Amino acid sequence: MHSRRNHLTKRSYRFADLFAGIGGFHLAFHELGAECVFASEWDEYARLTYARNYRKMSPQLFSSGRFAGDITKIKDKSTLPDFDILCAGFPCQPFSQAGRKLGFGDRRGNLFFQIRDVIEAKEPDAIFLENVQHLLRHDDGKTIRRIRKILEKDLGYKLFERVVRASDHGLPQHRPRVFIIGFRNHDVNFVFPEKRELRLTMSDVLRGKVDRDVGFTLRVGGKSSPINDRRNWDGYRVNGRVRRLTPDEAKLMNGFPRGFSFPKEVPASEAMKQLGNSVAVDAVRDYASTIIEALDALPRRS
């Protein structure tokens, strides 16, 4: 789909896709040879987009009824299918500027504890979590320290953490996000992936001359702000004229292929919201590749 330097799995790996959105984790891991055996997403519009794009890619996920809605309604997490890697871009709004930074005081922030419960029940070999970089500063660092304590001390994972920009992994937007990666086996040799050059610029995305190679971070709020306003993120000067991003252009900025499509039932405003909430696929793929490489080098659990 894209030319890339990625480590294809030597073993067969299964992954779960929690708070799946429109499937950036699914796309990245599937391209590396892993199989999605469980996914959950409660937003109805996002579910439509997810099903449209992954039903043919992962038919067993849908035929087995393992594309779930609200994860909180699955009380006994041990009933989930077994998997090796847990992926979760858990809701970022409680920790972001847009979400008023309420953190665990927001119901969405409490969804992190659903991740904890799944990890505790299923004990995957690796976890891969993504959130806004403000998570590291939220509540004077108390939130991230609590998350680390749960993952390291309570659940026993060795953690690796880094703020990752989409623009450092080939995509033309900044999009700084914190990646939290953990392994059950503390003997793991995990190496952060190298940065890479842009594989496309905003001029490629907008098919005209744009005065910046790297675009603004795709967001949920502030759409259609004046182009010189600090809140602007979707307005660009293309060949000297101001125009707004379309969903088809925004998806390229997040690393989704041109063939990725939104169902007709999903309004353009919802499609842009989905992209504003999505992970950057190329960045996730680079890290997924190094996770798989590290797991390949470990002995299999009996």
Catalytic residue among 61, 74, 87, 92: 92
Is the CA virtual torsion 159, 163, 168, 172 positive or negative? positive
Q: Is 173 in contact with 215 (CB distance < 8 Å)? A: yes
Calculate the alpha carbon distances from 68 to 2, 45, 138, 179 in Å.
30, 14, 30, 24
Calculate the alpha carbon distances from 291 to 181, 234, 296 in Å.
8, 33, 9
| Among candidate residues 197, 265, 293, 271, the one with its CA nearest the CA of residue 22 | 271
Cα angle value 135/138/140 (rounded, 5°)? 135
Coil/strand/helix, residue 228: coil
Rounded to whole angstroms, the Cα distance separating 266 from 282 reads 24
Rounded to whole angstroms, the Cα distance separating 26 from 154 reads 27
Catalytic annotation present for 92: yes
SS3 content of the chain, % helix, strand, coil (to 5): 35, 20, 45
Catalytic site positions: 92
